[in-house]
Amino acid sequence: MDIKEQLKQKLNLSDADFAKPMPIPTKWSRPFWDGAGQHKLLLKQCKDCGHIDHPPYLYCTECHSDDHEWIEASGKATLYAFAINEYGVPFPFMPDLPYVLGLVDLKEGPRMITNIVECDHNMLKNGMELEVVFEDVSKEVSLPKWKPIKP
């Protein structure tokens, strides 16, 4: 019996107790989530100064312009920092333990919080090269996550 079934029986929980929170797109973040749904990593770039913001804001955080376009990112990044979660998480995330939270520096500039997946946790090192992968969490929603580029 897996951990989810054990917890359900022991604590009288239901499947609803294991429902993960889903992204709620805003007017200015919807293109990012629509892109992720198509397995594209889209970033908001200012047309006046070229700055790329993530998460996307209404205005450029560098020059306050509201003139922007969405560009497709390369999907390449380096690992800035990480933590391996082994316990002490809400019920929906318990079946995933242990999992890796990471801060990754995208080649295009922004730093993104994410999960590092598809790897041996013992081989993770700050500065290592990563590439994006998309996890389909529902019919409409996919989450960008990152995995080490194999040498």
In the complex, the residues that contact Zn ion under the rule CB under 5 A are: 46, 48-49, 51, 60, 62-63, 65
Q: Minimal CA–CA distance to 133: which of 148, 122, 120? A: 148
CA distance 134 to 96: 16
- For Zn ion, give the closer residue by CB, 36 or 60: 60
CA distance 66 to 5: 49
Please give the structure tokens belonging to residue 24.
């709620």
Cβ 103 to Zn ion shortest distance, Å: 23
- For Zn ion, give the closer residue by CB, 49 or 137: 49
- For Zn ion, give the closer residue by CB, 8 or 51: 51
Cβ 66 to Zn ion shortest distance, Å: 9
Helices (H) and strands (E) in the chain, counts: 2, 8
Cβ 67 to Zn ion shortest distance, Å: 8
